[in-house]
Structure 1
Amino acid sequence: MPEALKIAVAQSTVHRDPSDPGLLRSSGTEVRVLLREAAAAGARLVHFTEGALCWPCKEIMSELGPDEIGPSDWTKADWTVLQEEFDSIAKLSGELGVWTVLPSIHQLPDARPHNSMYVVSDQGKVVARYDERTMSTTKITWMYTPGKDPVTFDVDGFRFGLALGLDVLFPELFTEYDRLGVDGVLVSYSTAGVTHHEHIAVQARGCAVNNTCWISLAVPANPEGGLQSGLIDPRGAWAIHAPTDGSPAVVTTEVRHDDVTQIGREFRARTRERVNS
């Protein structure tokens, strides 16, 4: 079993109008720049924030907007350009030989879309998709269809789970991934348009130490958000994080197999079995 895997966590610019093709293409361009930087640094897996291609604004999307929040009118979104940018990123992922985890909107034919995370393999193929499960009142009422299931995938002997948006506030989701044997959870969380979300880092660090797993936290390049992208180790400490000024960047380090993770997992399994017997 490989002892280490080099992972990159991106801190990228998030735009909020999916009807603007120029903004969608700008996001796609920045993602590709960061993807190339990560590959040049030797990363095997690159993780992007919620809204990496677009984090739709509830006022812009509202069919009653922009002054009143109501059901989202998803015909406003430029789905063609969004798909073109996604396809270009997936192709580049294959050319560079890296795995890419990229959040985006997943269109449904007869329902509101999912807020999703796509897993693109080092062959440039989509191999998994996770749909956000624990949504805000606005998301669930006006914007999206929630997901139902956890999702894991394996890269070079390491197993990862996926969490998106407000999932980070629900420890039971991370306990679920612990039982599924993950080495780490990739958390994508958007602070676009909001300030002072320092508590999200506290939540993520707590989930890491409680489950002795690695947590990758990918957030926007937003200096007002109070968060930086980075990697948290199984003891709850930052292994690395992006610039604190909120500038776009990608940071790279290794996740490792170690005794702490295995001992912790075995202890929790024994204790849960005893408590539940």
Structure 2
Amino acid sequence: MSSSSSLRIATAQVMISDDARRNGPVIRRLMREAAEAGARLILFPEGCLSGYAKEQIRDWDQVDWPAVEEELRQVAALAAELRLWVVLGSAHRLTPPHRPHNSLYVIADDGQVVDRYDKRYCSNTEILGYYTPGFAPTTFTVDGYRFGCAICIEINFPELFVEYERLGVDCVLLSAYPVDSVFEVKARAHAAINNYWLAMATPAQTSALLNSELISPDGTVLARADATTELIIGELDRDAPEFDIALNKARPWRAGARQGDIYRSRRVCDPRSDSPAGFV
């Protein structure tokens, strides 16, 4: 059961197709399951609604954009009905001839698309042939818990995860279509280094490499899908005693250390310090 200080979230692991009219009903079914399990937010993988470029999508001309938009409207309407926040991966169409963004739609529990995260660090293939990059972080708050968004290859850019720590997030929502298993090691490292939760949603197509997970602020895995699981449920709880060191001691201390005052105030004027070789 959720306590008054905790927040229950769901992370999906679904098979993604190139047809939004097939993807949409699966998304809505899992939204209902998440709501029935008491979740307040559900995270879906990269490209979950539209299909992901290089995998399901080889040419944007094959995408039925009106279908994508209609399915998104139905997802938003159900979010309002269920009082559920939804973070949904999809291509976001721009005005031709501009290529789409690789995005996460942030849909509030009143059915409004309140924000959108556009992938900032696209891969070489993505940026040359498929997507237009974004340039800003995205944060939002649900029941007192602050979230940030990231997508796939951005796992390789630690500065994005440090940025979210500085922005005060409690949990990073990472949607991905991973290509190697070391991805999971990096995700756990970012969570442990920055002392926040990290939810990672991956498609069923990549379950042989790794599965969707919820990672704690000390880097341990709280919930993990297996090859046949479509949905995992996990709890964010600031008052959990096992996370006291990570949240209440390590995180504030590291934030102060990054500012550097604790070190600058202890800098000394000493020839044995200033000389590269020192003195015998």
Deviation at 1:59, TM superposition (A): 7.8
In the alignment, which residue of structure 1 is the partner of 2:33?
A: 37
Instruction: Give 1:4 deviation, angstroms.
Output: 0.5
The within-5 A match list for 1:180-199 is 180-191=167-178, 197-199=180-182
Match of 2:143 in 1: 156
Question: Partner letter of residue 237 of structure 2?
Answer: R
- 1:216 equivalent to 2:199? Answer yes
Match of 1:174 in 2: 161
Q: RMSD between aligned alpha carbons?
A: 1.9
Stretch of structure 1 that moved more, 91-100 or 163-172: 163-172
2:188 matched to which residue of 1? 205
Structure 1 position 56, deviation (Å): 3.5
Task: Give the aligned residue type for 1:121.
Answer: A
Q: 1:89 to 1:248 in 2, by over 3 A?
A: farther
Aligned match for 2:230, one of 249, 254, 274? 249
Residue by residue, what CA displacement relative to the aligned partner does 1:15-54 show, whole Å, maximum 9, x if unpaired? 2x3xxxxx32111111111110000000001111112113
> Which of 127, 131, 138 is the equivalent residue of 1:140?
127
Rounded Cα–Cα distance in structure 2 between residues aligned with 1:160 and 1:185: 6
Answer yes or no: is the 8 Å Cα contact 2:52–2:91 preserved in 1: no
Q: Note if contact 1:13-1:248 (Cα within 8 Å) is conserved in structure 2.
A: no
- Counterpart code for 1:188: S
- Residues 32 and 89 in structure 1, CA contact (< 8 A), matched pair in contact too: yes
Structure 1 pair 262–251 and aligned structure 2 pair: CA distance change class (3 A): same
| Structure whose CA Rg is larger | 2
Aligned to 1:75: 61
Q: 1:238/1:84 Cα in 2 relative to 1: closer, same or farther (>3 Å)?
A: same
Correspondent of 1:93 among 76, 79, 104: 79
**Once the 2 structures are TM-superposed, how far is the Cα of residue 224 of structure 1 from its aligned partner?**
5.2
* Structure 1 residue 171 displacement after superposition: 1.2
Q: Aligned partners of 2:57 and 2:190: how far apart in 1?
A: 33
Q: Which residue of structure 2 aligns with residue 113 of structure 1?
A: 100
State the number of aligned residues: 255
Task: Return structure 1 stretches of 4+ with deviation > 4 angstroms.
Answer: 59-62
Contact kept in structure 1, 2:121 and 2:154, CA below 8 Å: yes
1:108-144: CA deviations, max 9, x gaps? 1141110000110010110110000111110000111
Mapped partners of 2:55, 2:77: distance in 1? 33
Instruction: Give the whole-Å Cα distance in 1 for the aligned partners of 2:48 and 2:11.
Output: 12
Give the conservation status (yes or no) of the 8 Å contact 1:140–1:146: yes
- Of residues 6, 10, 13, the one that matches 1:11 is 13
Q: Unpaired segments of 5 or more residues in structure 2?
A: 265-280
1:272 to 241, 253, 258: 258
